Structure 1
Amino acid sequence: MGNRILVIGTYDTKDDELSYLAARIRSQGGEVLTMDVSVLGDPRLATDWSKHDVAAEAGSNIAAAIASQNENHAMQMMASGAAALVRRLFDEGRFDGVIILGGSMGTDLALDVCAALPLGVPKYIVSTVSFSPMIPPERLAADVQMILWAGGLYGLNPVCKASLSQAAGAVLGAARAVEPPARDRPLIGMTSFGKTVLRYMVPLKPALEARGYEVAVFHATGMGGRAFECMAADGAFAAVMDFAPQELGNHLFGSAISAGPERLMAAGRRGIPQMVAPGCYDLVDLVGWHPLPERFRDSVQHAHNRLITSVVLNTAERRSLAQAICARLAQANGPVTLLMPTAGCNEWDRPGAPLHDAAGLAAFCAALVAECPANVTLQQVPGHINDAAFAEAALAVLDGWVAQGLVAPGKP
């Protein structure tokens, strides 16, 4: 049973709060390990890993951090050291879950620490700025949990105790209950949206499982793409079917629904064989309750729900996106096949559907052909992305890679 929780924070200023959190974990039968990431002061009692241990892990020391006279520089140094130390301690099996307490400074550090840990490790951030738009999605670990530290700016009180006590139960409960991802069958990472707009995962998932693969389908609405990229960067996938890279367009055209600037990069950097298709390439998703950006005032719109409004890209924007896709795939270190369904890339753009634009689709396809780099195999698929022919083409590519020894065969 996972009982060992690593509690991290600035013990020089938040000793009372961190001690309360630790006491609540212990009261439920958990064990507590402590790490101090402060710079100027010292904790009341010694921690298991001191600020000096953290600074040394970053290749520096506390004296240098203080001498910099720059709190941002000092905290980034401590963040680097804490992330490296925590990852090493986890690899050594020293703890089962981590919880980090902080304001904006502590949260900045906490994001780096959580990003250093693999998926499946319970990781909790209790922060006065949880859920704030100042936190970019690309800094969030794939499965990080955040709890608002209500009333927690300075000192203990009944309001912040409610947050801290819930957080103590959450991290300990997660550490006890978590089922880390099994590695007994090769994993295929796939991106998609709901079945109203993209449906290829319905035939593909059982077909891949019949071949002996596990399949994880990521909802490509910002954080889903972020989780997908994070796991690809960790080498978790035997191959990827990135058939909904729409978050790249979201990022390029200024939407807040973004997986960050590194979308469509991680699998290529790791040399993971990747199939890419431009599912929903023609749409940019915007936060539905935000004012529509001026550049899209004249664009065709589709309100998916109160959270998401999609706008349709014009021909010039589609060409620009094709160039961006090809530029990213050109940097891949592994096999890449770009599947281009010539009859459309989402259910709303079929002939007769409300977002159909034959000229725009033709321009996009032509741009892909013109810009496709030498390391990418461009395969045009007659039909729509939701047709059976597309799923069959994807399976044929995978089977070919397995036959060539580029992808590990599945395990029945």
Structure 2
Amino acid sequence: MGTGRREPIEGGRLLKEKPRRDVLLIATLDTKEEVVEYLRNRLLEKGKTVLLLDCSMAVGRSRLEPEITREEIAQWGGAAFSAVATSDQFEGGRVMMEGIRRVVSALFAERKFRAALGIGGSNGTLMATAGMQELPVGVPKVMISAMACGNTQFGPYVGTKDIIMIPSVADILGINSITKPIFDNAVHALVAMLDRKEEPFPPGQEQIALSMLGQTTPAGMAGRALLEKEGYRVVAFHPNGVGGAAMEEWIARGAFVGVWELTPHEVADELLSRIHSAGPNRMTQAAEMGLPQVVVPGCVDFFYGSPGPPHELASRFRERQTYMINSQIMLVKITAGEAVRVARELANKMNRSRGPVTLVVPRKGISRYDRPQYPFYNPEVDRVLFEEMKKALSSRIRLVELDLHISDPQFGEACASILLEMIKPVDGPLEVYRGKRKRLWKNDLFR
């Protein structure tokens, strides 16, 4: 059973004929009928109309009549519903997820709804949020889920979008004293989002993308102040896997005129642990588009150990330099051998850029704990990392080395001033930063 990529002609015509409503309600009606009816009635009481989408995969029928049927979803996914109903759950779910993605995207393009609400367990959550991920940021998206718990990775459900996950606490089976207030809160929240007064963001201000962890926040804040003084707005992304993927997505959409990779930590995590990985395409969009980039090897000197109890993590990494940042997460310092791999990967990503790139290296440490008397201080590992990057770096890439720590606000100011020159080239340094440049760059090494 394959998934076709072409839009079904009949399906396309039928979607255009669907009514225009306020809320798209996504659920498996074969198992969630009672709750769906409750949510729909509550929304109607609040003056909001509902477009019901059924993503059931079983042959049983519901007494509710959805505007978008499971048969239509399967058709848009490239198969007949009879094939979905008789296939294994994995293959059937794959077809239905593809259908939901395409149907939700097509319905929203026709302005058939203004917000999305989903309910479900494991499969229902995966299918409903697959559709929600097709919607732009800012469109209200609420998912009531039995999977919204602390033991679940949220990446597959939320992706790079602003989906609000509400734990159902109890499983979604009827209305009871535990679930009723949760369902009511979800309805009230969605209605409030729909009723808010639209306040468009002021247009015309150019934006700069910034990758920043808590460890690099002092430099990021200092640099942001200078960039915004020059008229740019800075958008920071948390490089935790999802953050970096979102950053790449918005770069590809043309949202930025420059990129400050203060913390490309996800590149190291992709190679060494994949807990905070943003995938192999991290640091590719700006390179392909030729955007000016300032790249700092911020926080590439560690990776995240697997989440777990402290005693288990301590045993697993007992031969390594480590630091527990909370009761569940351990940071692990890279070795000299790992530093070679990370350095070459970063250099290769910079070398592929079609635009100007400046690598700025803080010689006194590239993470908060990379300094004397701190747990990640290891001059030999840092030396290997820097030397390998230099060797692998193309002669087209400008190299600046500063006698500063990455946590120093002055380091952030220097990076910002470099990026400003790259975005708006002038003869000589920008006047407003000339004094700082002379003081900070006195012993810089250029290549």
| TM-score, length of structure 1 as denominator length | 0.84
Displacement of 1:266 after TM fit?
4.8
Structure 2 equivalent of residue 98 of structure 1? 116
Residue 365 of structure 1 corresponds to which residue in structure 2? 386
Matched, 1:189 2:218: no
How far apart, in 2, do the equivalents of 1:368 and 1:104 lie? Answer: 44
**Matches of 1:161 and 1:190 in 2, distance apart?**
42
Q: Please tell me the residue identity of whatever aligns with 2:207.
A: L
Amino acid corresponding to residue 393 of structure 2 in structure 1: C
Per-residue deviation at 1:197? 4.9
Letter in 2 for 1:343: K
Q: Work out whether residues 198 and 279 of structure 1, in 8 Å CA contact, stay in contact via their aligned partners in 2.
A: no
1:164-313 correspondence runs (5 A): 164-177=183-196, 183-194=203-214, 197-254=216-273, 256-259=275-278, 262-268=281-287, 272-286=291-305, 287=307, 289-290=309-310, 291-292=312-313, 296-306=317-327, 308-313=329-334
Query: Residue 410 of structure 2 is aligned with which of 388, 398, 401?
Result: 388
Q: Does 1:399 align with 2:417?
A: no
Q: CA deviation at 1:226?
A: 4.5
Name the structure 1 match of 2:442.
none
Return closer, same or farther for 1:72/1:267 CA change in 2, 3 Å cut-off: farther
CA contact (8 A) 2:340 2:388 kept: yes
Deviation sequence 1:282-303 (CA, Å, 0-9, x none): 1224447453165521222333
- Partner SS for 2:218: coil
Greater mean deviation of Cα atoms: 21-30 or 218-227: 218-227
* Distance in structure 2 (CA, Å) of the matches to 1:182 and 1:289: 47
Q: How far has the Cα of 1:214 moved from its partner?
A: 1.6
Deviation of the 1:200 alpha carbon: 1.7
Residue 209 and residue 387 in structure 1: after superposition, are their counterparts in 2 closer, same or farther (change >3 A)? closer
SS in 2 for 1:54: helix
1:116 matched to 2:134? The reply is yes
> Size of the alignment, in residue pairs?
399
Any idea what SS the aligned residue of 2:138 has?
coil
Question: Please, which runs of 5 or more residues in structure 1 have no aligned partner?
Answer: 405-412
One-letter amino acid of the counterpart of residue 102, structure 1: G
**Greater Cα shift, 268-277 or 156-165:** 268-277
Q: C-alpha displacement at 1:154, in angstroms?
A: 3.2
- One-letter identity of the residue aligned with 1:116: E
TM-score, with normalisation over the residues of structure 2? 0.78
Cα deviation digits, residues 158-198 of structure 1 (max 9, x gap)? 3222322222222222333476766542222211123x654
The residue that corresponds to 1:407 in the other structure is none
Contact preservation (8 Å) 1:131, 1:146? no
Deviation digits for residues 93-138 of structure 1 (CA, Å, limit 9, x no counterpart): 3322211111111112123222222222221221111135453526
- For residue 61 of structure 1, the aligned residue among 74, 80, 86 is 80
After TM superposition, the structure 1 stretch with the greater mean CA deviation from structure 2, 274-283 or 126-135, is: 126-135
Do the aligned partners of 1:301 and 1:311 also contact (CA within 8 Å) in 2? yes
Describe the SS at the equivalent of 1:14.
Answer: helix
Question: What SS does the corresponding residue of 2:125 show, helix, strand or coil?
Answer: helix
* Residue range with higher mean Cα deviation, 9-18 or 40-49: 40-49
Q: Structure 1 77/94 Cα, relative in aligned 2: closer, same or farther at 3 Å?
A: same
Alpha-carbon separation, structure 2, partners of 1:55 and 1:372:
50
Amino acid aligned to 2:133: A
